[in-house]
Amino acid sequence: MIARKAEKTTNPVPERRAPLDPDWWRGASIYQVYPRSFQDTNGDGVGDLPGITARLPYIAGLGIDAIWISPFFKSPMKDFGYDVSDFRDVDPIFGNLADFDRLVAEAHRLGLKILVDQVLSHTSEEHPWFKESRSSRDNEHKDWYVWADPMPDGTPPNNWQSVFGGSAWAWDPRRRQYYLHNFLVSQPDLNFHHKAVQDQLLEEVRFWMERGVDGFRFDACNFHFHDRKLRSNPPASAKADLSTVRVGNPYGFQIHKYDKSQPENLMFLRRLRQLMDGYGVVSVGEVGDEDSLATMAQYTADGDKLHMAYGFKLLTDDFSATRIREVVSEFERRIKARGGWGCWSFSNHDCVRVATRWGGGESNPELPKVLLAVLGSLRGSFCVYQGEELGLPEAEVPFERLIDPYGITFWPDFKGRDGCRTPMPWTSEAPWGGFSTVEPWLPMEKRHLGMAVSLQQKSPDSMLSFTRRFLSWRRTQPALQKGSLRFLKAEEPLLVLERTWEDQRMVAIFNLGSLSSRYTFTAPVQALTGHGLEGARLDNRQLILPPWGSFFGSRSPLYCPTPGPAPREGRAIVWVTRPTTTLSWPWMSARTRRRIPPSSSTSGRLSASTTPPGTLLPMLAAMSMAP
């Protein structure tokens, strides 16, 4: 087994500091950066690591907790970084290791965590391990990949299909065997049944932890193991969930019982978690499976495998309040007994942007706002894909400019992933919007120029301004970050949920339709403000929501968001307008007792310095002053 030493750089590796809150990831907001399209600083038309570093203040200003950076490792780029030829080096188009170290140091200075993509299930065909493995049946790496003899008639050993189309087996004349590739032919799958492979991959992960990263996103993490007996997959039924691929892809014609999601993966994930726990880093796994919610729950159960996981059930064309409620409720049911944690997203680098996918051809500026509010209100952590904070629609990329092999194969039924990967519009200046000084690797969408950062940051009503307000406000709401979740009954298109954390009981209502909607509360509700969503009208217990409107309220008098009137005689109501110290009276119960500074008043507004703004101290709400 080849185990390389970590390469030295002229920039010192950042010193790791233990986070003040080891559970910071629970309820965290994660911003996904696709490096090729974020910011070009060297004039080659491709984004790079220095470009990410230069834009870190922008990301921090959104109110984001962490950044997930898609692959930047050395690669022939046939799948744009998800085909790794060197796990421990930066591809020259993105920079070098010193650039990465500077990025991590600057992110930490700004209070941001860094998660890097790790592609462990497969490598590039250009990786030295595979080059040696395919050279003969007798070498050090001969068993590091999944090799199989042909059937007597020369056909592949079974019926397994590739996600990107066609058989998952490719013939190699040197070994006179087939090798497994769940994705492109140029992405051979590693053999996780060979312990040396597991050991080496753990060392590749350790390399980046020692460079100071805060966590990982593990790509295709349920593809690690295959069935040793190479049994063929059964056919899919008409009711099978095909959310991982588009209709028309033969991959969806099978139930993938044997080519992924094997039970042996649980032990490897435990080994991986044990290693990560030693460094205090976190993980989120991508799960592409027919029953992805069950696999997500299994991979995050018991606190000894992945910290978080996400699937594709909310990355499809299906859009309704019912769909969101059913998906999230089912996951909550799955994790109830053994624990677990989801990481939700509505967009990423592999699917059509949500503003287009769920917008139905509309360009209503309120739709992206309500979707972000929903995303930030579900129990779990969540990812915001670059440009989602601008409300960007899917870009139109003509066939002659397509470079995604997935899209080229299935055109025109499926146009591929290029439309969600086009360059970030920083300015409205044509032709390249501040992304680069030369023609970018993918075309700049003209509609995106009119939605550029430089324009939106000037408008208080823009999606960008809303994103900053909402994410900052959300940080002051513990119920939205770590609270329990309960969905309430409501007719389409309303999504109604309740989040509870200690004494905070919050209700959120979202109108996922293009017409106004009404909702009637069964008990008094106090409207919450500061989140940036305007237009909802609350009249006693009757709520009127505009199209794509949202409402946040407190169901309990113990938690109120804004200063209120002076208290009535004989009652104590303390409204907190700024962070406060704690309070105490002798007649309070042990549960509600706090300390109060001698200079504070019980009959007016109290201001001091330690609890979140907008918090009404629960033990003071409508309590009698009488001893």
Tally the C-alpha atoms within 13 A of residue 561's C-alpha that lie toward its C-beta: 18
Distances (CA, A) of 250 to 55, 165, 238, 242, 385: 41, 7, 13, 11, 28
d(CA 608, CA 513): 42
- Would you state the structure tokens that stand for residue 446, as one six-digit string? 């003209």
Reduce the DSSP state of residue 605 to 3 states and report it: strand
d(CA 615, CA 483): 16
d(CA 457, CA 57): 14
**Residues sharing a CB contact under 8 Å with residue 572, sequence separation 6 or more, in sequence order:** 602, 603, 620, 622, 623, 624, 625
CB 167 within 8 A of CB 251: no
User: Does residue 44 carry a catalytic annotation?
Assistant: no
Q: Is 430 left (phi over 0), alpha (psi -120 to 50) or beta?
A: beta
User: Does residue 362 carry a catalytic annotation?
Assistant: no
Per annotation, catalytic residue among 91, 219, 498, 503: 219
| Strand order from edge to edge, sheet including 517-520 | 517-520, 542-545, 537-539
Tokens 């899209």 -> residue: 407
Rounded-to-10 torsion of CA 30, 35, 38, 41? 140
Distances (CA, A) of 40 to 107, 418, 424, 450: 18, 18, 10, 20
Phi and psi torsions of 560, nearest 5°: -130, 150
Per annotation, catalytic residue among 106, 117, 214, 286: 286
User: Which residues are known catalytic residues?
Assistant: 219, 286
